[in-house]
Amino acid sequence: MDEIVELFSKKTVFYGVFATIYGTLFDLRDSAKRYGKLSRDKPNNVPNVVIKHLVKAGQSVRDERGLPNLVSKALRGATSDTGSRRRIIHFLAGEDYDPCPQQN
């Protein structure tokens, strides 16, 4: 538990982790879904592969190693920039589980 607190204590990184977990729980990746009324549907489980990737990415952020330049810049820059937040979320979630992938 201490490792989790240590890895994700910065506000910028915590937001990315929250968005990744929430997006996975409620399947926000499916852009064809319409979000209307609230429901009592049970959220999805977070796959172990996502959790492992989050921890590995969190370690990279903490150690400042293996970060793509744009992610490193986003972590140092303005957190109000949507593009920066998306880069961080994409890095933390990984390609296959990014809850807000770029729309083509």
What is the tens place of the pLDDT at every residue in 4-62?
778 888 888 888 899 889 888 887 766 556 655 667 888 889 999 999 999 999 999 99
Residue 46 lies in a domain: yes
Residue 70 lies in a domain: yes
Encoding tokens for residue 51?
A: 């959790």
Give CA torsion, residues 84, 85, 91, 92, to 10 deg: 150
Residue 54 lies in a domain: yes
Helix (H, G, I), strand (E, B) or coil at 74: helix
Based on the structure, what is the number of domains in the chain? Answer: 1
Residue 89 lies in a domain: yes
Residue 51 lies in a domain: yes
Provide the sign of the torsion angle of the four alpha carbons 54, 59, 62, 66, taken in this order: negative
Residue 104 lies in a domain: no
Residue 37 lies in a domain: no
- Render pLDDT for 72-90 as a digit per residue (tens, 0 to 9): 999 887 677 888 889 999 9
pTM: predicted TM-score of the whole model, two decimal places: 0.81
Range of the domain at 85: 2-32+42-97
Residue 66 lies in a domain: yes
